Amino acid sequence: MGESVIEAVVLNWCVQEGETIAEGDTLLEVATDKVDAEVPATCSGTIRSILVQKGEVVSIGAPIAVLEAKNGTIQLTSIQASSMAAHGSTFAAIPAQDLAATTPLPSCSKPRILLSPLVKGIIRKHRIQPSELEHLVGNAKNNRIKKEVLLDYLKQKSKTSNTSELHLFQEPITPLEGDEVLQMDRVRKLIANRMVQSKKIAPHVTSFIRADLTEVVEWREKHKAAFGEKYGIKLTYNPLFMVAIARALQAFPLLNAVVFNDQIIKRKQINIGFAVALPDGNLLVPVVKNVAELNFVTLAKQIDVLISKARSGTITPDELTGASYTISNIGCFGNQMGTPIIVQPQVAILALGTIEKRPAVIDVGGEDVIAIRNEMFLSHTYDHRIIDGAIGGGFLKHLTTELKFLPKNVDMSCI
């Protein structure tokens, strides 16, 4: 469900152990901080066992069920980050006779890791990932991980986890008379966890700049009626901002990137996510793919469709996946500036403030003149691990120039 999704909640199993299923049948329903989705089976067979229960939080890639396929092989299915939108799950085949002695680990470089039934039970209980087992098997004889080694690893892992997860307030807080106690819902808890993790991972730096949008505002006012009549949608500022941002990202490609461990992956396509507020107070971030290659009308239509789907609850996982850069329009709430939190594993996010008329000094025929201009503050937050001020601030300065001359770069033939 996208590179930023790290776990899902099992909402409901649609099959039972021993049940025969066909390819495409829904196995289970899951939920993340982005969207709820069904996980379909990618082959036919019989459900041998279900490894996780309703309500459990499962890491992406962790085993969730064992399927005995029609060809006599055993399939271990898991929720995958990149394939949920199209397939929902992936399978790794193992000969049926090897199931009792081995655990299939598709991501491991080792062909097979030998585990006793007791050790496999510990692995399932503590949700130990294949990458962790691969690390442990490096020093194991004959690729066999013993119970003692595994328990020692879990003990050390627990100490590290307890140290890193200390809360600021350790003592219990007692509500006072008249206080209202609200329990976070599932989506809010997931969003909260993601925001905390982002602040832990990336050192955030935010730069601010004031952009002159007078020409953009005048251009939109001039063409919005004709545009709406011709295409049946409103001419909003969203596609105009995305055109300018895509141009600026082409000039500063390091900002169109993601970070994985010590690797910087510069994305070829410019996929822009944009935050959409929902009626329940939560938000979704739909993604417009390959923005730099879209004409203006197509871009405007895609944005309009994605907003409608997000607010109606019909948006798909694929439409929330793959962003290389994100924007947040805080101006729709009347806010001027903000310090947005980066969506991991991206390296930057831009907040768009409200457009207001302000007095400004402009050059008219070589003379300074005070005039009323339509202006907006841009707040650019970037990951200081790889983005320095020269790039983070330079991008922002370049973007103001793109916005100033944007009306001249929009294809007028579409109006």
Q: Same domain, yes or no, for 307 and 408?
A: yes
Residue 167 inside a domain? The answer is: no
Q: At what angle do helices 147-164 and 130-137 cross, to 10 degrees?
A: 120
Mean pLDDT, residues 341-364? 94
* CATH number for position 101: 2.40.50.100
The rounded distance, in Å, linking the Cα atoms of 394 and 376 is 17
Q: Are residues 91 and 211 in the same domain?
A: no
3-state secondary structure of 29: strand
Q: Which of 122, 155, 188 is the last residue of a domain?
A: 155
Q: What is the pLDDT of residues 111-163, one digit of tens each?
A: 467 777 777 778 877 777 776 777 776 655 667 787 778 888 887 776 655 54
SS3 of residue 64 by DSSP:
strand
Active site members: 384
pLDDT exceeds cutoff 60 at 280: yes
Higher pLDDT, 186 or 240: 240
- Which of the pair, 158 or 48, is modelled with greater confidence? 48
Q: Which of 155, 186, 208 is the last residue before a domain boundary?
A: 155
CATH number where 370 lies? 3.30.559.10
Q: What φ, ψ does residue 131 adopt, rounded to 5°?
A: -65, -35
Residues 221 and 137 in one domain: no
- Judge if 271 and 402 occupy the same domain: yes
Q: 288 lies in a domain?
A: yes
Residues 123 and 202 in one domain: no
In the chain, the percentage of residues whose pLDDT exceeds 90 is 44
Task: Check residue 250 and give its pLDDT.
Answer: 97
Looking at the domain assignment, is residue 188 inside a domain? no
The type of residue at 365 is: G
Give residue 241's domain range.
196-414
Residue partners of 141: CB distance under 8 A and separation at least 6: none
- Domain count within the chain: 2
Judging by DSSP bridges, how do beta strands 90-95 and 102-103 pair with one another?
A: unpaired
Could you say which of 98, 123, 155 is where a domain stops? 155
